[in-house]
Amino acid sequence: MCGIAGILSFDGAAVRLHEISTLTGRLRHRGPDAVGSWFSTNQRIGLGHTRLSILDTSPEAGQPMVSPSGHHVIVFNGEIYNFIEIAELLCAKGYVFRTQSDTEVLLHAWDCWGQAMFERLNGMWALAIYDTITGETALCRDRFGVKPLYFFNHARRFIFASEVQAIDRLLENKLSPDAEYLKTFSRFEISDRSYLSGVKALQPGFWSDLPTSSHED
């Protein structure tokens, strides 16, 4: 289990380290082994990750992970069961791996196949991949919704995290309970709502492209 988080700025205001640290601080119990952050050069996007080291415990397998070309950056929570088979396909296409992690496999798979990579994945995941050239951020959650991913969207910023309380903490605990949802909530229900108003869950099997105000400077 790991934690992922990020902030996308739509109005040009910089994303600050303390903001990402606030998100990851609330997710530390999900990944006690390491905490990482990454910011675009224009600071309009910041990504954070708390790591539970399992497959590859080396620092090189830490996150956020940047592709060798610098084209893509990923934060990922989950496990890809067939990552070895996918890595073999990518090796045949000329991709070179420096770690034994499924995170790096996802990074190269996205570079190779784009969104079509999700059709090849067998596993559970919640992830965000940022494109430093187009300025787009892709979010995706596994088909059965095993790994959580929540977001809060308003005119100026898009905030996402593995847990609702991380978003609430960043917003200074100003979000109010969604009373309607709490009255009708069932653990068997699939909903895009959460227990706090304005915070939504990315639906299982969904992926979305989110533009920022511009690509990297």
Catalytic center residues: 2
Strand 45-51: give its sheet, edge to edge: 34-39, 45-51, 3-9, 157-161, 150-153, 199-201
| Residues in contact with 110: Cβ distance below 8 Å, sequence separation at least 6, in sequence order | 72, 74, 117, 129, 138
What is the Cα–Cα distance from 72 to 111, expressed in whole angstroms?
8
Which residue reads 């000329």 in tokens?
Answer: 94
- Contacts of residue 45, defined as CB under 8 A and 6 or more positions apart, other chains included, come to 6, 7, 8, 9, 15, 39, 130, 137, 212
Cα(142)–Cα(148) distance, integer angstroms:
9
Is 121 in a helix, a strand, or coil? coil
